[in-house]
Amino acid sequence: MKKVAIVTSGGDAPGMNAAIRALTRLAISNGLKVLGFIRGWEGIIRNNYVELDSRAVGGILHLGGTILKTTRCKEFRTEEGLRKAADNLMKDDVDGLIVIGGDGSARGARELSKYVDSKIIVLPASIDNDLYGTDESIGFDTAVNTALVEINKIRDTAISYERTFLVEVMGRRRGFLALEVGLTAGAEIILVPEVKYDRERIYEILRRNAAKGKRSSIIVVAEGVGDTWKLAEDIRKNVETEVRVSVLGYVQRGGNPTARSRLLAALFSQKAIELLLDGVGGRVVGIRGNEITSISLDEACEKVKPLNLDLLKLAERLAI
């Protein structure tokens, strides 16, 4: 192992820069050369990279986003694109490729691994936290706290005006973010894609709360649940309450990474470099309990990470 490359792929997540920094410095401390491909998979296909050293990654630990940039690359989904990427990795003498990203990035890495001899390691970094094999991804804690700060402010207005607020958070396919945000924000109702909701039950909860004197409510909605605006209109028609919708949007992806996100970036990076130095590839690094582990790339892509529905039940019990 003489040369490694880093690429950030898919949606950005707070802590990606912390991972780039840690990977670069740990690689250099072990005598490895480091390349950083620009703009995700597109950068590998175009062979667009920069050489990274300790100074190149100075001053980025606290920054959100990724200095290597990222983009969606349709060409990478084709055999021709994969072969171009593989050829460039071979031409650049890349022995190890470290992919920082989420579920989609892991799947891309798996496809690429069929065409290259380079050892590939995936570092989970995603606010969706949906990659199998790790309890938590880099950036998830930051996104939860970002959304929590905003919901705390929204609740001030909800209480003052005695309104019901539907707060839409990211999560097109999975509800990990909505669940943790909703639980920690004390939301009265949490809606996630994994659980089909009943409108009549929502009306009943809001009416029951109002009868108890609880005239303001927060409903946290994962974007993948459906049309939040239509749900708000239905609530308005069936329950005597003022209803407002607040879509948090891309604010959840940005911002300075929390200490937790930075810590995971450092620990995951250390594990990734250790695996590469041992000549091991085709792995996804993660944390289970308090242990930094890794599983096969195949397992991570083939299995579905379960949502902890016990937390949803806990949130319901706490929202009385």
Q: Which residues are catalytic?
A: 128
By the 8 A CB rule, do 311 and 179 touch? yes
What is the distance between the alpha carbons of residues 247 and 229, in angstroms, rounded to a whole number? 10
Whose CA is closest to 137, among 151, 122, 148, 147? 122
Gyration radius (Cα) of the chain, Å? 22
Backbone angles phi, psi at 268, to 5 degrees: -65, -40
Structure tokens at 311: 């937390």
DSSP 192-250: -TTS---HHHHHHHHHHHHHTT---EEEEEEGGGS-HHHHHHHHHHHSSSEEEEEE-GG
